[in-house]
Amino acid sequence: MAKDFSPIEKHIGDYFLNENTNLIPPELQEWIDESEENRLRFEAYRKIWNRIDKVYAVNTFDAKAAWRKTNKANCRNLAGQKRKIQIIYTVSGIAASILLLVSLASLYFTGRSSSPATAVEIETGYGNRSSIVLPDGTHVRLNANSKISYSYNAAAKIREVNFNGEGFFEVAKDKSPLVITTPDGLQIKVLGTTFNLSAYKDDETIETTLIEGAIEMDVSGDKLLLKPGETGMYDKTNNVLKPVDKTAAYAYGWLNDKIYMDNMPLSKLCEKLERMYDVNITLHNNIGEKIRYNGVIREENINDVLDALQKLSNIKYKIKGKNISLMPK
């Protein structure tokens, strides 16, 4: 299903898709002249379009290549900025701009292409987060060290997503099911719903917390249907899929820079901190499972977090660059 664009977005799309791009339509020019913000946004569209255009051949469209090329260019431009700035695309609406132009180009070029599916892909590094809207209108907020790819399988009439990491999904309603597949073979089937998915490849478990709607977790035919407020967990080690008792808000606390701890071992907490702050943490004297925490952490930087943990438990720390050592006092 194509994304529904606003009138001004359609004017922008028509302008860039028109061979004579020196003439700006009156409606578009009026919008540009309304404010400096609009003018800067339009120039951002132009720069992105120029990058994407270089990827296309005359009669073919590779949306995945375009997405990757633009992603790489923006990563270079934004390197070194603060963690809370969404490094991949989210400066001055660039994320929406890229989506708009890639989607419009897809609609234009795929009519000439024999490719059965249009795909896009994005990933975030350690210490970074991002927010994107997929071509079907699904909004996904990605936590650190996450990767998502999307394609529409026209033959099967399925929206397909491959996912590794953690994300908060607001799935656009559509007759075509959206099927999310994780690296460990777990599939989540949805039509239109909101949920949090934590599916890091290196974690021992995958957890899905449903906020609204309905989803089905499926591992090799073993299925679990979730209702709003429920959490399902897949234990990779024991190959067990089951419901778990968990406060729903804890699952997506990361959206507000919070880590909720419910008898959480220090080792698990350190995994989250490594992703969140882009650091390497080494635990000494087997303290990872011995020390557990309850409560919530919300701090501006890793030093503040470590100071808080040091007050809560019998540990101390040493920092050298990105490397952190935790040990008993």
What is the DSSP annotation of 13-60?
HHHHHSS-TTS--HHHHHHHHH-HHHHHHHHHHHHHHHHHHTT-BTTB
pLDDT above 80 (res 85): no
Per-residue HEC secondary structure of 215-254 comes to: EEEEECCEEEEECCCCEEEEECCCCEEEEECCCHHHHCHH
pLDDT above 60 (res 201): yes
pLDDT above 90 (res 244): yes
Q: Which residue has the higher pLDDT, 200 or 54?
A: 200
CATH class of 117-256: mainly beta
| Terminal alpha carbon distance of the chain | 58
pLDDT above 50 (res 262): yes
Average pLDDT, the chain: 78
Return the H-helix or E-strand segment holding 97: helix 94-109
pLDDT above 80 (res 14): no
Query: What pLDDT is stored for residue 189 in this prediction?
Result: 93
Query: What pLDDT is stored for residue 142 in this prediction?
Result: 94
Query: What pLDDT is stored for residue 316 in this prediction?
Result: 92
Of 218, 152, 214, residue with least CA distance to 182 = 218
Q: How many residues does the chain have?
A: 329
Least confident of 58-67, 224-233, 306-315: 58-67
Query: What pLDDT is stored for residue 257 in this prediction?
Result: 87
Ranges of each domain in the chain: 1-115, 117-256, 257-328
What is the DSSP annotation of 259-282?
EEEEEEEHHHHHHHHHHHHT-EEE
Of 94, 87, 179, residue with least CA distance to 124 = 87
Q: Which residue has the higher pLDDT, 45 or 229?
A: 229
Taking domain 257-328, whether its CATH number is 3.30.70.1380 is answered by no
Percent of the chain whose pLDDT exceeds 90: 44
pLDDT above 80 (res 83): no
* CA dist 300 → 84, 139, 307, 321 (Å): 10, 26, 12, 17
Least confident of 89-103, 149-163, 179-193: 89-103
Q: Which residue has the higher pLDDT, 274 or 60?
A: 274
Query: What pLDDT is stored for residue 25 in this prediction?
Result: 73
Q: How confident is the model over 20-55, as pLDDT tens digits?
A: 455 677 778 888 888 887 887 777 777 666 655 444
User: What does the buried/exposed string (b/e) look like for 142-154 if buried means 16 or more CB atoms within 10 Å of the residue's CB?
Assistant: bbbbbbbbbbbee
Query: What pLDDT is stored for residue 136 in this prediction?
Result: 85
Query: What pLDDT is stored for residue 114 in this prediction?
Result: 37
Cβ–Cβ under 8 Å, residues 123 and 140: no
pLDDT above 80 (res 224): yes
Q: What is the mean pLDDT of residues 48-77?
A: 46
| Cα–Cα distance, 61 to 53 (Å, whole number) | 10
Q: Which residue type sits at 107?
A: L
Return the H-helix or E-strand segment holding 80: none
> Is the Cα dihedral 260, 215, 139, 86 positive or negative?
positive
Query: What pLDDT is stored for residue 168 in this prediction?
Result: 95
Rg over CA atoms, the chain: 22
Cβ–Cβ under 8 Å, residues 116 and 99: no
Calculate helix-pair angle for 26-34, 36-53, nearest 10 degrees: 120
Tokens 């963690």 belong to 83
pLDDT above 50 (res 16): yes
pLDDT above 90 (res 192): no
CA atoms within 13 A on the CB side of 68: 11
Query: What pLDDT is stored for residue 325 in this prediction?
Result: 95
| Cα–Cα distance, 317 to 271 (Å, whole number) | 16
pLDDT above 80 (res 76): no
